[in-house]
Amino acid sequence: MAQAPSLRPLGRSGLQVSPLCFGGNVFGWTVDEATSFSLLDAWLDAGMNFIDTADVYSRWAPGHAGGESESVIGKWLRRSGRRADIVLATKVGKDMGEGRVGLRPEYIRQAVDASLQRLQTDYIDLYQSHDDDANVPLADTLGAFADLIAAGKVRAIGASNHSAPRLAEALRTSAELGLPRYESLQPLYNLYDRAVLERDLAPLCAAEQVGIINFYALAAGFLTGKYRSSEDAAKSARGGKTVATYLNPRGLRIVQALDAVAARLDSQPACVALAWQMQRPFVTSPIASATSLAQLQQLVQATRLQLSAQDVAELNQASQEEGARD
């Protein structure tokens, strides 16, 4: 059996997480319950422990109300009894309908209890603000999180989709008022989407010891090499948007570089794309999803792949954009 990957500290939270995080948006959406259970079992059996979801997953799907992903994870936890083996992250703040949105203290208190019930657990390891909420004073939001930590419902808190100025302001507020601080940031980051994180957010997170757990690690599937022409848009439910966003000369240049490095290493483009992120000094754990055991094995293989300085330089050059920092 292959050796399990080394765990990494998440900010200053005390949480130790695997170098790759399973993105739970697929559970109860593009993956049925039985497949979700087998994916979660296989993830842990491979030595991984980090799972990310959100209360809003998958409200966007027809007939869904939100909470589907958390509910599937909760059923799996009850069946498997493996709560102590995972670091469980979820989020609050996206629009759940009927006025359930944002980061007001009274709503956070309501939302965490609903998430705990769906997840069938009495604590959340990492509770994240899914979006910034400029309408609520940071001291109020962070104070509500402090109450949840004191009550034992939450172990640590994180931010998602926050700008560098707002994250810096939140960290200052925590320090000045003696409140819990955001220990992680969940931003968009991958070989295509580099500049915003590398220019603004990564230096701040490094200076403040905030962990980075980036979403869209495979650029909505584009970095797997699955989408190489406009005809490929039909390959998945989100293919049209993926092709419209990423299929351009720079995107194709990145895919060609991934092909070249993968061929040298006898690997796959997706594995190389994830390995590049895991070797970035400021990234703690990229988030990626799988809808089959074969795809999950690719994710696991990525944690064992070591890129050479030449491999990294080749990928950096192909993905160069203004504001990116090699």
Q: Which CATH number is 80's domain given?
A: 3.20.20.100
pLDDT at position 266, please?
97
DSSP letters of 245-301?
A: HH-SHHHHHHHHHHHHHHHHHT--HHHHHHHHHHTSTT-S--EE--SSHHHHHHHHH
Question: Could you tell me what percent of the chain has a pLDDT over 70?
Answer: 99
For the question of residue 182 being annotated catalytic, the response is no
Q: What value does the mean pLDDT take over residues 8-29?
A: 96
User: Does residue 197 fall inside a structural domain?
Assistant: no
User: Does residue 286 fall inside a structural domain?
Assistant: no
Rounded to whole angstroms, the Cα distance separating 180 from 130 reads 17
Rounded to whole angstroms, the Cα distance separating 120 from 70 reads 9
Task: Name the one residue in this structure whose structure tokens are 């959340």.
Answer: 124
pLDDT at position 2, please?
62
User: Does residue 161 fall inside a structural domain?
Assistant: yes
Average pLDDT of the chain is: 95
User: Does residue 94 fall inside a structural domain?
Assistant: yes
Rounded to whole angstroms, the Cα distance separating 271 from 77 reads 28
pLDDT at 1 over 60: no
Who's near 190: CB < 8 A, 6+ residues apart? 214, 216, 217, 218, 219, 223, 273, 277, 286
Domain tally for the chain? 1
Task: Name the one residue in this structure whose structure tokens are 């490094």.
Answer: 206
User: Does residue 122 fall inside a structural domain?
Assistant: yes
pTM of the entire predicted model: 0.95
Q: Which of 57, 127, 189, 246 is catalytic?
A: 57
User: Does residue 280 fall inside a structural domain?
Assistant: no
pLDDT at 182 over 80: yes
The pLDDT-based confidence of 234 (bands split at 50, 70, 90) is confident
Q: What value does the mean pLDDT take over residues 83-97?
A: 95
User: Does residue 298 fall inside a structural domain?
Assistant: no
Structural domain boundaries, residue 49 = 8-186
User: Does residue 204 fall inside a structural domain?
Assistant: no
